[in-house]
Amino acid sequence: MTTNDHTAQVRARIDEHADELAALGRANEDLGRLDDQAAKVLRDSGVMRLLQPKQHGGREAHPRDFAETVMRIAGLDGATGWVAGIVGVHPWEMAMADERVQEEVWGSDPDTWIASPYAPMGVLTPVEGGYTLKGRWQFSSGTDHCDWIFLGAMVGDADGKPAQPVTQAHVILPRADYTIVADSWDVVGLRGTGSKDIVVEDAYVPAYRTLLYNDVADGTAAKRAGLTETGYHVPFSCVFPLGITSAVIGICEGALAHHAAWQASRTTISGAASKDDPYALYALSEAAADIAASRAALLDNVTGMYDAVARGHVPTFAERAAGRRTQVQAAWRAVRALDEVVARSGGNAMRMDNPIQRFWRDAHTGLAHAIHVPGPTFHAAGLGDLGLEPPAGPLRSMI
């Protein structure tokens, strides 16, 4: 069976439960996490296995297939799509980890989910055989349904202070080694993602459960792991943001669909039918074109990167920065387009029983993710256009 066949199976299962996932959107929001049934549908669909290595029951799908699947889910419910996009990326990196931890995570259950975040909010203190880890992290999406986690940390010295030069690591922990802070996710959008805080108090981490961030970012980890599938050699700065931006674009597509359905039967306060309003139709068409352009740009970007890697090319910093610029701009373009149609949906679109307002809030919250901050990325990409590279520091971050 080919990767495309596997992806088609996943999408068919999502389509089979499309009405159910859409209907669970309100329940997810009320719970402040994914409803157990929504999580079950995702688990049963196989979406989280798309980027997982085949030796552990995964599909090793093309990252474009993964992105399109996330968009489809997010178009049904933003929180469900967001969790699929973020949790679904983690098996891609786990494929680069030591085989011992892969076996610990997936050996008895290939459907085990892995949470994050990657922000280096903890410190690894060296001890015999590994490290101890301490810290507090925000924004662990889907974490209630995950049994392992990736956490970003700074490698420390013997005193528990960040060592110099600064070295970042991704640390892999089982659920028993961290605490989920129950009431730490009270937000305006993406409420159903349950992106709660994580606390670790002096957990012991064997050295084999760590990956150096630079090794992941520059492709060393994938080569060291002996991975041959092209997708694992696409830059981290392309694959990691992919699930997040795919979710945002999918949310905008979902909102657009709800707006169109709403406008088809809506009558304004003046008594005129919205379907007869040329200005409303113009706004709808313009937004549809911009959201479609965002989809196309994101998918073309990851496909181009994949194809270049398949030819044996190692993407340069300037190419990675340009790719990140495309990804960031795709998210902003889609959300700006969404704003144009929501502003023309009328006051009743803001009622809590109308899904338009939830998609709108979810999209803006997704745009606020650090991966969508345009300034440093656009600056770095602009220097690349001039044939220059930025110095070490913030302008190279997440590229």
pLDDT tens-place string over residues 124-168: 999 999 999 999 999 999 999 999 999 999 999 988 899 989 999
Nearest C-alpha neighbor of 141 from the set 117, 119, 177: 117
Model's pTM, two decimal places? Answer: 0.96
Averaged over 103-126, what is the pLDDT?
A: 97
Averaged over 349-375, what is the pLDDT?
A: 97
One-letter amino acid of 185:
W
For the segment 201-260, what is each residue's pLDDT rounded down to a tens digit? 999 999 999 999 999 999 999 999 999 999 999 999 999 999 999 999 999 999 999 999
Residue 1 pLDDT greater than 60, yes or no: no
Averaged over 318-338, what is the pLDDT?
A: 98
Residue 2 pLDDT greater than 60, yes or no: no
Residue 4 has a pLDDT of 76
Residue 394 has a pLDDT of 87
Which residue has 């309100």 as its token pair?
Answer: 26
Cα distances from 308 to residues 233, 380, 388, in angstroms, run 10, 21, 21
393 versus 219: the higher-pLDDT residue is 219
Cα distances from 261 to residues 254, 257, 264, 284, 385, in angstroms, run 11, 6, 5, 11, 42
Residue 67 CA to residue 299 CA, distance in Å, equals 7
Please name each of the domains of the chain with its CATH number.
3-106 (1.10.540.10), 114-212 (2.40.110.10), 234-396 (1.20.140.10)
DSSP secondary-structure letter at 233? G
Say whether the peptide bond before residue 91 is cis (omega within 30 degrees of 0).
no
Residue 298 CA to residue 39 CA, distance in Å, equals 26
Residue 59 CA to residue 49 CA, distance in Å, equals 6
Mean pLDDT of the chain: 96
